[in-house]
Structure 1
Amino acid sequence: MTDTVLVTYGTTNGSTAEIAEAVADVLREGGLTVESLPARSVTGVAHYDAVVVGGGLYTGRWHKDARRFVRRNRVLLAERPVWFFSSGPLDASASERDIPPVRGVLRAMNRLDVQGHATFGGRLAEGARGRVAGMILRSGKGGDFRDFGAIEAWAKDIADALTRA
């Protein structure tokens, strides 16, 4: 059984952090010891037995903090079970069908033999930072498209896999 799991994430406006916290809560309910931290603040992964990495999607790319975390820790990540998630579609598409990882995430998944990936809907609320976010909000396309039932089911699958290991 895996003892300690890191759930880490790159986020700009907090939506991905909230998804990461939901994942961490489900893993804890499954009996795992979990730390949930922003990717930019993680100093190493040596003392974790498994890692879940999430990143918000911005113009077809994972959040820079998630990308940098994976790049900095690629050697040790390749030695343990790892899952990735992405958040970002500002519509119902992530709840309606499986959305594959963007190219850069897929490349990292293949290099690290990642156990799995899921794309969840995102959230863009009034007051969000960034020029593009402001443009999206002004066009009326903001909102909360996260499906916490799907997020929790995905996290439960991870907890089951780790407790069986």
Structure 2
Amino acid sequence: MPSSVLVAYGTTNGSTAQIAEAIAEVLRKDGLTVDVLPAQSVASVASYEAVVVGGGVYAGRWQKHARRFVRHHGRALAGRPLWMFSSGPLDASASERDIPPVPGVKKAMARLDARGHATFGGCLEEGAKGFIARKIVTSGKGGDFRDFEQIEAWAVRIGAELGGEPEKS
């Protein structure tokens, strides 16, 4: 059973980081040792037996730090259990149906033999960085569309695949 897991994320406004933390918390409850790190701060994945990597989706692409992480660590990622997640839709669609990964993530998944992917709702609220993000918020189309029950259920499946032992209540 892999015991050390890295959850790396690329985020612009912090909501993808909160999703990564929620995933890590579930994996820890399964008895796994988990580090949660911004993708750009990971020097090596060598000490991890499994990796979960996620990124916010902006204009049909993963956030730049998530893309760079996968490209930079690709050779090492291909040799270990790997899952990917995306966050982004600013509506309830991610809770209502399975949304496939954007093309760049789909290609990376195939190249690295990733075990799975999930798209979760995004969050864009007052104070968001970037001109377009601020326009979306001021037009009334922002909000928090993350479904933490869905996120936790996905993480439970990862923990089960990794052979984690859920904490006894």
Q: Given the two structures, how large is their TM-score scaled by the length of structure 2?
A: 0.96
Counterpart in the other structure of 1:146: 146
C-alpha distance in 2 between matches for 1:74 and 1:137:
35
Amino acid across the alignment from 1:10 = G
CA RMSD of aligned residues (A): 0.6
Counterpart in the other structure of 2:44: 44
State the 1:135 CA deviation: 1.1
SS at match of 1:5: strand
Structure 2: runs of 5+ lacking an equivalent: 165-169
Number of aligned residues: 164
Poorly superposed stretches of 4+, deviation over 2 Å: none
C-alpha distance in 1 between matches for 2:137 and 2:80:
40
Counterpart in the other structure of 1:14: 14
State the 1:139 CA deviation: 1.1
State the 1:138 CA deviation: 1.6
Counterpart in the other structure of 2:96: 96
Structure 1: runs of 5+ lacking an equivalent: none
State the 1:118 CA deviation: 0.1
Counterpart in the other structure of 2:61: 61
C-alpha distance in 1 between matches for 2:131 and 2:99:
25
C-alpha distance in 2 between matches for 1:130 and 1:54:
20
C-alpha distance in 1 between matches for 2:21 and 2:66:
15
Q: Write out aligned runs for 1:115-130 (5 A).
A: 115-130=115-130
SS at match of 1:55: strand
